[in-house]
Structure 1
Amino acid sequence: MKNTCAFFLVISLSSPIALAQQAPSKKPSDDDVVGLCPVTSITFNSKQLMPAGQIKVEANRAEIIERKVAQFTGDVDIVSDSATISADQAQIIENGKQLHAKGDVNYADKQIQVSSDTVDVDSVDESLTMSSTVYHFNDSAGRGDASTIALNTQDGLILRDARFTTCPEGEEEWVIKASEISIRRGKAWGEAKHTRFYLGDVPVFYLPYFAFPLTTERQTGFLFPTLSNSSSTGIDYEQPFYWNMAPNYDMTISPRLMTNRGLQLKTEFRHMSQNSTSQVNVEYLPNDTDMAGSPDRYFYRFYHHGELNKDWSTSVDLNGISDDNYIVDLGSDYYSRADTHLSRTGSISYTSENLLFTLHAKDFEIIGDYPDTYRALPEAKMNYTLPLAEYLEFRLNSELAWFDNTSADEPTAMRFHAAPTIAIPYQRQWGEFSAEFSALNTYYRQSNIEGTELDKTVNRTLGQAKLYGALYFERDDSWFSDDLSMTLEPRMQYLYTSYEDQSNIGFYDTTIWLTDVEGLFRAQDFTGFDRITDNNQVTLALTSRLLDSANREQFVASVGQIFYLDDNRVIAAAKETDRSLLAGEVDWRLYEDWNFHADLQLATETDKVERSSTTLEYRLSSNKLVKLTHRYVRELSDETIDQVGLSASWPISDRWQVVGRTYRDLEGHRSIENYFGVQYESCCWAIQIIAQRQLSNRYSSDGEQSTDEFDSSISMQFIFKGLGSSSSSSDMLSKGLFGYRKPYSLN
């Protein structure tokens, strides 16, 4: 039978072929852009498939011979229950048991899309064979060509004399050539035999066997290694292995070989459930050959956060190291060489609309020769708020803690603090007013106090009153431009706290606060409750803002000071003058991409700057920025801090990115840290080279920290994109600008 018009035929298949999945391409969107290049996403519309066991053929011309052979010519489209085939000609034999198509053949299923010269399908053997092919994997940038592609239910997908790359067409900067590439059914990895890796047209290495990922899903296998060289570790090679143990937990095992120190093993285990996340890190270096006696060295970390229900949550953070110099010598992903202690905390919390309750256990491991820190084992806090009327509320802040110290000579204590407060809050657009009246009661039971001035039991009760007011004035134009509106915000606070001698109480968790503009309005001079300062003082501050037509802050300046009406009698906070330091802050958007921040504390009696920090930043985009900083502290641990720093990140072309930072100690006339990184990044591969020199901060045997020794290092990382790594310049940027924050607080 012949038919010259469009034709539909439905034939029952005795043994439907089980095929993978693929689809035609769609127009690239913003979400398809990865790194520098757009990635064409391939989707497969399964709605176009036929019901199980059926096939549909559409063509310009059809001929059926004795009900055994059906021949189709001209724009042939064949749709089964699992794939689609288009060709110039097609032949179906014995009621669908065999199919042969040729001439501009395109095959698509949910796994692969192939263009070829011919395709043969045998439903009895459940096999499919294509020759002279060009292929593209679904949900992946992986593509290539092969002399033949064979698909069957037993072996899966096999490509012979194949090439594979994740680079865009026409930009094949790296290619894998293999005698055979196989894609087993149900596996997310491809396997290649007799593999040659090419950069451009140059072969760089050979592997008899190679496995690579086909999707972005987490998969077990080797990750890309890192290679570096430093004066501390020597040549440093780390090879991570990722183990996808289950959908909700995994492990990364990273052997690390250091020529100066030996072989270290680093492990990371992660677990996630519907209501919790946990992570365990263990690092172990046996027989460090660079240290006297070749000691074993280790680091461990356990982190957990969980929600028991909508109100109750738990948290754990435990850390430990074998010696003071572990982080300095071997580095850490969680601590820096400037840290002086490792936290060991656990807590359980309850939160509701009016009540916050937390039970803590706080401990620390001290690094270096620093005073032992008191442990709170445990510490319970409860904050309760009860509205009594529209402008009246009751607050109760309370705490119960047991303080212990690893030193047998230091006092220990139990402390209970309760502070009931009656507050009158009143807020309007034009200003706000609040009044608070509190009774501060603290009870101590102290032990190990022989030979000290401390008392075994202390019951301290103080009264405190605080009156606060602020007014907000605004005008539609400013002194600088008619396009800007200007605000003037005067603030005033009166604070009174009664006095009681507290010399019979030890210091357990109390240190003095640093002063800034907002800190002038604190009710206390100290953290903790071991010292509560007697106050009779007035705080005055003034803030002015310039707002543009979109109500964005272009300029904010604040200045404030405390005026003491009476001399302070708590010796630990005694004031030498009748006023505090003058505190000021400025945030200024100089232009769209330029921002300036400065803050300082000025001693008005001597007109000397006690503390200051200044930042000037040019930020054109997320990877185009330059930041100049300066900080000054007149006295910190009997030393003067006077440092200037320059940080920068800038792409010098579409593919080259540089990141650097340098800090110089003006007081000591020397550089204290230098970092430089350069990265080349194309659509499908990248290389990073990083060099740095910094103070080592090593500790001597008696715990004293060195301020004269430096550590230098250089590292390199090579990345095949699409083969187990998504690293880009953003990783180098975060390392090169470690600790980076926007230097301004404009909205």
Structure 2
Amino acid sequence: MGVWKTASAACLLGSLGPVAFAQAVAPEAPAEASRVSLTADNVYVLEEENLVVAEGNVQAEYEGRVMTADKLTYNRLTAKVRAQGNVVVLEPDGTQRFADEIETDADLANGYAANFAMRTPEGATASANLATRENETYNTLDRAIFTACALCEGDSTPTWAIRARKAVFNEESGMYSYRDAVLEVAGIPVIYLPYFAHPDPEAERRSGFLFPTVGSSSKRGIVYQQPYFWAISPYQDLTVSPMLNTKVNPLIELDYRKRFWSGQVNFNGSFTYEQNFDSDGEKFGEKEWRGHIFGNGKFQITDNWLWGFGVEKASDDLYTRRYDIDGENEQRGLYTNQPRLLLSQVFAQGQSSNWYADASLLTFDSLRFDDAREDAIADVLPLGYAERVFDLDKYGYASVNVSTAYLTRDAGADSLRTSVGSEWSVRKVLPGGILAEPFAEARFDHYQIDDFPAAGDSSSVERAFGTAGLEVSYPFFRPGKSVDITIEPIVMGAVGTSGANEDAIPIEDGNYFELDTSSLFEGNAQVGYDLYEGDSKISAGISTVARWKSGVEFSALAGKRWRNRNDPAFDEPSGLDGTSSDWVGAFALELGNPLSIQAKVRLDDETLEMNRIDTGLNLSLDRVKANALYYQIKQDVSQSGQRQEGVLLTSEVSVTDNYFLLYGLQRDIEGNRDIRHSLGVGYEDDCSRFELVFERSEQIDRQLGPSDSVLFRFALKSLGNVGSSNFD
């Protein structure tokens, strides 16, 4: 709507001529600042009509702005300026404005433009039969049309456009409003809005209604959710989103954000008064208030310290799935959560160049169908860690650390652990290019245990242990014309204390460990605190890297681990059972942008059969984009005790420059079922993206069973995501 202050300014100043230019300059501005260059085939004065007229190839230049027209007239009596015939105003930023005729007062307060149009450098266009300006405040377009899509030569139908009977821009309030607006897609009317308004993109945030979400669900029937954005202040806002459902009672969703001088908070919550219901919307149980809240915050205390919190609560196990609420597995603090477990935490964190510390309080709520298991999930009140690192110059690095964890639960052992430890290592290059890294570590643990049968009458357990060893590698490098190859044999040997793993200590943080290439050459391969890999051990492997001049790279690392005795504390899935581990390997092939492949394998130490494989593929060709994951785990090494095999695939194939196909698959091969299977088509250009996807899910969780859905979603350039419909 800035057309009036730009186009009419050029018309006015261009018509008055050099003598009048100086008179229009503000007193504090130099006269030279508003000089206008005016050219025309013919300029003359009509004394009887009191008109100044410029005709033929009229061009006026003012502060980088250029206006051209067939004719320009200035009425000295009424102080009105009129530009006629092929009027074009070119802005310094490249924006073009067109009209058949423009007329305005000398003070730019009132005016009109007939057959007005505008085109931005980004390709957005707007047009109207008539554009008028009143009282320096209201700018009105009659029979307006707007699109952010650039039109190709010979193409008169944009991908999307908004038509309105009237569009008004109020400069005082900074608001755009539309009457009888219609959203058209490919020239076809899709959505009619009797009234629609939004703030000027360059203005401050404003309160108002956002685009609604409309859909249909077998659980909730026809769904309509209308968000309202409330800009409470420049640093806080609230979005209220009532959801109407034909099968169940309404729900209200709230999103609150606030920024402080030292941090910010974010909350998402909802509530409703309703019974439980199944996949078909059949209700059961008592009607009661139900809801959820997800939130987090982080605040800077000093340059080195901050504190924060994360909260996740739901009234029912299946509440978020019944109402399709997102955000369950987002990270809201120092720690992330497992699927279908809610984690609430309060934490403090500090660090500098040579020290680190954190402390947290963690509580868990299970959304899984197992009350006994939920009672066995421990709350951690608190969990703390601190470390100080010392640079010993040529003698390497040393560190001391302290850790504590107090675990309490409704069913099972409560425990308090306090640990103090130290580590040291140094890296040396020996004659001949041999790399040697001696290391040592020691730790003392104190446990206070209650209600743990293996502890007997003892409620206190203490232990001290350590490990010392040496890692040696000898890299061989062979440069070549087309490929450089590095081969590096690696051997690690270490000696540690025996008998560190006592039956009286409950295993809390080591249940899901599995030896792989990332821990193969560690003196203590076991992560966590409750289990410790002592005794004597040797690891041997070989690393290979090949780099082609073309940018292709292949890397591989493989090896295994031997121990002097079997520690019964380690089970077969961990890979540290017995005296000889399985063979472990990791491989990666990077072909640049088109293709990358990664794989991790675990082979039986005796038969070399595949015990486990995890592979990933990323493909990005001219018309094909795909991400695939495949895994297979034998029963003997599976943490669940069951064989697992599955695949996860997402892909997009461009059929033409604009149309594409979508395909997604999450399949449990061992269970012979599709957890999620989707197929869709889509369209995309420079200003929009449309997707129509059919999805089938065979996931079952108590009363919520398999479902089919049709998803329709689209995004429009400059308007963002307009909405999505979800049909179950």
TM-score range relative to shorter protein: 0.7 to 0.9
Q: How do residues 157-176 of structure 1 correspond to structure 2 at under 5 angstroms?
A: 157-169=139-151, 170-176=156-162
Q: What is the aligned partner in structure 1 of residue 426 from structure 2? A: 424
CA contact under 8 A between 1:511 and 1:528: conserved in structure 2? Answer: no
Counterpart in the other structure of 2:165: 179
Q: By how many angstroms is 1:230 displaced? A: 4.3
| Structure 2 letter corresponding to 1:609 | M
Q: In 2, Cα distance between the equivalents of 1:619 and 1:454? A: 62
User: 1:434-445 maps to which residues of 2 (within 5 A)?
Assistant: 434-445=437-448
Change (3 A) 1:273 1:439: same
Q: Is residue 713 from structure 1 mapped to residue 700 from structure 2 by the alignment?
A: no
SS at match of 1:328: helix
Do the aligned partners of residues 174 and 545 (structure 1) sit closer, same or farther apart at CA in structure 2, a change above 3 Å counting?
closer
Partner of 1:494: 493
**After superposition, what is the alpha-carbon deviation per residue over 1:327-376, rounded to whole angstroms, capped at 9, x for unaligned?**
33333422369813122122211111111111222222222223533222
Q: Is the 8 A contact 2:454 2:504 kept in 1?
A: no
| TM-score normalised to structure 2 length | 0.82
Q: Which residue of 2 aligns with 1:97?
A: 79
Offset at 1:386?
0.8
Distance change (3 Å), C-alpha of 1:162 and 1:595: closer
Structure 2 residues not aligned, in runs of 5+: 1-14, 278-282, 330-336
RMSD after superposition? 3.9
Task: Answer whether contact 1:85 1:106 (CA < 8 A) is retained.
Answer: yes
- The answer to whether the Cα contact below 8 Å between 1:498 and 1:534 also exists between their aligned partners in 2 is yes
Offset at residue 49 of structure 1 (A) = 11
Residues 526 and 532, structure 2, Cα contact 8 Å, conserved in 1: yes
Amino acid in structure 1 at the alignment position of 2:692: I
Instruction: Determine the C-alpha separation between the residues in 1 that align with 2:461 and 2:116.
Output: 87
The corresponding residue for 1:624 is 625
Structure 1 unaligned spans of 5+: 1-5, 18-46, 701-705, 733-747
Aligned equivalents of 1:203 and 1:678: distance in 2? 21
**What is residue 20 of structure 2 aligned with on the other side?**
11
Conservation of the 8 A alpha-carbon contact between 1:269 and 1:279: yes
User: SS state of the match for residue 637, structure 1?
Assistant: coil
Alpha-carbon separation, structure 1, partners of 2:37 and 2:617: 68
Equivalent position to 1:153, from 113, 126, 135 = 135
The 2-side partners of 1:624 and 1:181 are apart by: 42
For the 8 Å contact 1:341–1:366, the answer to whether it is kept is: yes
Contact 1:212 1:724 in 2 (8 A): no
Match of 2:407 in 1: 403
SS at match of 1:9: helix
Q: 1:520 is paired with a residue of what secondary structure?
A: coil
Work out the CA distance in 2 between the residues paired with 1:484 and 1:134.
59
**Equivalent residue for 1:257, pick from 244, 249, 269:** 244
- SS of 1:436's equivalent in the other structure is strand
The residue type paired with residue 321 of structure 1 is A
Counterpart AA for 1:611: R
Bigger drift between 347-356 and 572-581 goes to 572-581
Does the CA contact (< 8 Å) of 1:625 and 1:649 recur in 2? yes
- Structure 1 length as normaliser, TM-score? 0.80
User: Residue 12 of structure 1 contacts residue 95 of structure 1 at CA under 8 Å; is this kept in 2?
Assistant: no
What does residue 6 of structure 2 align with? none
| Candidates 44, 47, 57, aligned match of 1:63 | 44
Task: Report the alpha carbon displacement of residue 449 of structure 1 after superposing the two structures with TM.
Answer: 5.5
8 Å CA contact 1:226, 1:238 repeated in 2: yes
Change (3 A) 1:225 1:715: farther
Please give the per-residue CA displacement for 1:211-249, whole angstroms capped at 9, x wherever unaligned. 356538765444444444444444444444444444443
The answer as to whether partners of 1:226 and 1:716 remain within 8 angstroms in 2 is no
- SS of 1:286's equivalent in the other structure is strand
For 1:538-577, what aligned pairs fall within 5 Å after superposition? Answer: 538-549=538-549, 552=551, 554-568=553-567, 570=569, 577=578
The percent identity for this pair of structures is 19
Matched, 1:120 2:103: yes
- Counterparts in 2 of 1:100 and 1:571: CA distance versus 1, 3 Å: closer
Q: How does 1:321-720 map to 2 (within 5 A)?
A: 321-335=314-328, 339-368=339-368, 369=370, 370-371=373-374, 372-405=376-409, 407=410, 409-426=411-428, 430=433, 432-448=435-451, 452-453=455-456, 455-477=458-480, 483-500=482-499, 502-549=502-549, 552=551, 554-568=553-567, 570=569, 577-589=578-590, 593-620=594-621, 624-625=625-626, 627=628, 629-634=630-635, 635-699=638-702, 709-720=705-716
Matched, 1:292 2:284: yes
Change over 3 Å in CA distance of 1:686–1:98 after alignment to 2: same
For the 8 Å contact 1:15–1:126, the answer to whether it is kept is no
Amino acid at match of 1:564: R
CA distance 1:7–1:119, change in 2 (3 Å) = closer
Contact 1:642 1:667 (C-alpha < 8 Å) held by counterparts: yes
SS in 1 for 2:320: helix
Partner Cα distance (1:627, 1:220) in 2: 43
Seen in structure 2, the aligned counterparts of structure 1 residues 571 and 161 have a Cα distance that, compared at 3 Å, is closer
Distance 1:394 1:554, change over 3 A: closer
* 143-152 or 500-509, larger mean C-alpha shift: 500-509
Equivalent pair of 2:87/2:98 in contact (CA under 8 Å): yes
Rate the CA distance shift 1:612–1:245 in 2: closer, same or farther, 3 A: same
CA distance 1:15–1:82, change in 2 (3 Å): farther
Q: 1:328 touches 1:698 (CA, 8 Å); kept in 2? A: no
Query: Which deviates the most, 225-234 or 155-164?
Result: 225-234
In the alignment of these two chains, the number of paired residues is 680
Deviations 1:301-322 (A, max 9, x none): 1112333343222232211111
